[in-house]
Amino acid sequence: MEVKELERDKNRVVLEYVFGAEEIAQAEDKAVRYLNQRVEIPGFRKGRIPKNVLKMKLGEEFQEYTLDFLMDLIPDTLKDRKLILSPIVTERELKDVTARVVVEVHEEPEVRIGDISKIEVEKVDEEKVLEKYVERRIEDLRESHALLEPKEGPAEAGDLVRVNMEVYNEEGKKLTSREYEYVISEDEDRPFVKDLVGKKKGDVVEIEREYEGKKYTYKLEVEEVYKRTLPEIGDELAKSVNNEFETLEQLKESLKKEGKEIYDVEMKESMREQLLEKLPEIVEIEISDRTLEILVNEAINRLKREGRYEQIVSSYESEEKFREELKERILDDIKRDRVIEVLAQEKGISVNDEELEKEAEELAPFWGISPDRAKSLVKARQDLREELRWAILKRKVLDLLLQEVKVKVVEPKGEGDDSEGKEDN
């Protein structure tokens, strides 16, 4: 077999394979063995049809089978090339003692990574976030440690109402009966709850609702109305939350620690996402238009198969606009993936089995299975293992890059103005 590079356009290479008589004879033998199991010709027992008879009876079809078996030799020659798409056969012919196959391969494109320090990511001011977190948690604790006092008067904002809710269908049959507790807020507008405002112990509220064409009657009987007294923010609140706390400061310190753990995890994740989003800006890529065109077409075909294409395109000015944006998005995704791969290789970053197991253990609750089951699942399924390996690798590379980017400290959202933050790092 001779392989010749006919054409190269960035990452796209056109290869010509020419097979000799010996390879063709071997492929023909394979085709004969294959066809003998599937073809029946009168006068011959199954599996006993000679090559010449098959050639004569099947004609071009036999040639196609022979070419198929010849093409089985191609993947081995592509082992050293990293491909972004499956090879595409553009020409194939078998004539007498030579066969020729032309294959278009799309290699992973080369990337040039620019200056990482030009990327800027935002980090929300830690002190301010934690301050707000502690405030909010203390308010929550006040709410959950409120002192309840039964009252005779009507329910008003701030009160807690305990009701027994019974649901009846159109025929008057009782479907359910359950107790609920609601805290009435200022400008209460929740369904059912707003109807309890002003009601006293023993009052009954009947509400009719229609769901899917059926009428239901909700009977809410007020069992008790409580006046809630929120505890003062002070040492007493701290003591009631946990015996270990003597002072409010100790409670605040503990809440701050709790908040810091959440902040660290979330902020790191947010910074990784920002970096990943901006990464394509500093990357130059050598990719052929044809590769992109095929990838765009594949994505569109996938959307069409899933029946989502029309709906998505309708939110764009035209199909052309959608194609353009899709192309940009695919290009950015390739840039990101290539940067992660290239840097992982350059810096010697890899993922070992131990890390995969740990990741599986951490994901087990999200998958709704036991950690052991998650570990064995990852061991057994290569696709899953590859998915996790990629996620971990990406995280490791991004964490390394985060040490080089510019970090801008910003105010927490929804508070203060959008003034320029101070620069860090």
**CB of residue 51 vs another protein: minimum separation in angstroms?**
8
User: Which residue carries 């990629």 as its tokens?
Assistant: 390
Q: DSSP strand E in 212-286: where?
A: 214-229, 283-286
- Closest approach, Cβ 292 to another protein, in A, equals 45
The C-alpha atoms of residue 110 and residue 112 are separated, in whole angstroms, by 7
Locus of tokens 């860090």? 424
Q: How far is the CB of 50 from another protein (least distance, A)?
A: 6
Element (H, E) at 32: helix 21-36
- Choose between 98 and 242: whose C-beta lies nearer to another protein: 98
CA separation for the pair 131, 263 (Å, rounded): 12
Q: How far is the CB of 56 from another protein (least distance, A)?
A: 5
Q: Which is nearer to another protein, 59 or 234 (CB)?
A: 59
Work out the number of other CB atoms within 10 angstroms of the CB of residue 244: 10
Q: How many residues bind another protein (CB under 8 A)?
A: 13
Closest to another protein by CB, 44 vs 216, is 44
Residue (27 or 155) nearer to another protein, CB: 27
Instruction: Give 48 or 381: the residue with its C-beta nearer to another protein.
Output: 48
Integer CA distances (angstroms), 325 to 91, 329, 335, 348, in order: 32, 6, 15, 34
Q: Which of residues 35-74 bind another protein (CB under 8 A)?
A: 42-45, 48-53, 55-56, 59
Q: Which amino acid is at 312?
A: I
Residues within window 257-276 making contact with another protein, judged by CB under 8 A: none
By beta-carbon proximity to another protein, the closer residue of 96 and 212 is: 96
Q: Let me know: does 227 contact 201? Beta carbons within 8 Å.
A: no
Residue 81 contacts another protein per CB under 8 A: no
Nearest distance, CB of residue 52 and another protein, angstroms? 3
Q: Where are the alpha helices (DSSP H) in 72-178?
A: 74-77, 126-144
Token readout for 49 is 């049809």
At its nearest, how many Å lie between another protein and the CB of residue 48?
5
Q: Which residues here bind another protein, judged by CB under 8 A?
A: 42-45, 48-53, 55-56, 59
